[in-house]
Amino acid sequence: METSWPELRKACLLLEDEAVLALNKPAGISVTGERHDTDIVDMAAARGETLYPVHRIDKVTSGLVLLAKELPAHGQLTRQFNKRTAEKAYLAVTASTGLPDRGVIDLPLSVGRKNRVRIAAPRESIRRDGDTWLVDEQDVLAGKNYPSVTEFTTLARTDSHTVLALRPITGRRHQIRVHLAWIGHPIVGDPLFDRSGTFARTHLHSWRLVLDAPWRPTGTLELEAEPGADFWRVGDAIVATDPRQLLSSASELIARTTPTGH
């Protein structure tokens, strides 16, 4: 995606103060550190602006990304991600149906061949207990693995797709993408897992973020990035006829108690 930093900054700006910059990133642009790619941090640096990523979202993922403009704020914010006190929510469209209204995916992750993230257990050992997907301890593969939990709420259904709001309780690399794919509900357009067709983008979006921000008058950062029209269109189909109303309802839904069993 060819664009200049001033153009990207202006088009995607959600919030800016003396300490942070929040952007609604398009799919297809890296945040930082991706080989052979020009990323947001490099683009800004080339124009004399130093930014420190507070968190990362994948290149294929659109939506909210928070960057610090100074190191003290960066330290305060990244600690909240490390301690899992940052409140995060994503949106996704799966190339499948049959998911419950609410669910929990409690599956450990590991890194396999070619540095690919996978579930740390054989696929056939994954079982569903009510609305929770899990594996028994004896089925977890030997070696290093990372406990990983994703909660989700179903927002809309069509004959062939499902729109989800998700909260990654842990923040592992590719967590949402791997969790959904391994329970049989891959994200539409995911280059790692979706083999259902050719799509313009991956339908995963970083939607909401709430963190403590002592330097702000309210003491908090409450950020929300609305997905673009391309998120709601899958091929020739529209998966939500009134996205703003859907997201308004979703804000209340994701705040409710998670399913029994988590």
Residues labelled as active-site residues: 58
DSSP element (H, E) containing 23: strand 20-25
Other residues' Cβ atoms within 10 Å of the Cβ of residue 129: 10
What single-letter DSSP state applies at residue 122?
A: -
Burial class (CB in 10 A: 0-12, 13-18, 19+), 207: buried
Amino acid identity, position 173: R
The 3-state DSSP composition of the chain as helix, strand, coil percent (nearest 5) reads: 25, 30, 45
Angle at 157 between CA 152 and CA 160, to 5 degrees: 110
Of residues 194, 207, 201, 186, the one with CA closest to residue 57 = 207
The answer to whether 22 and 64 are in contact (CB under 8 A) is: yes
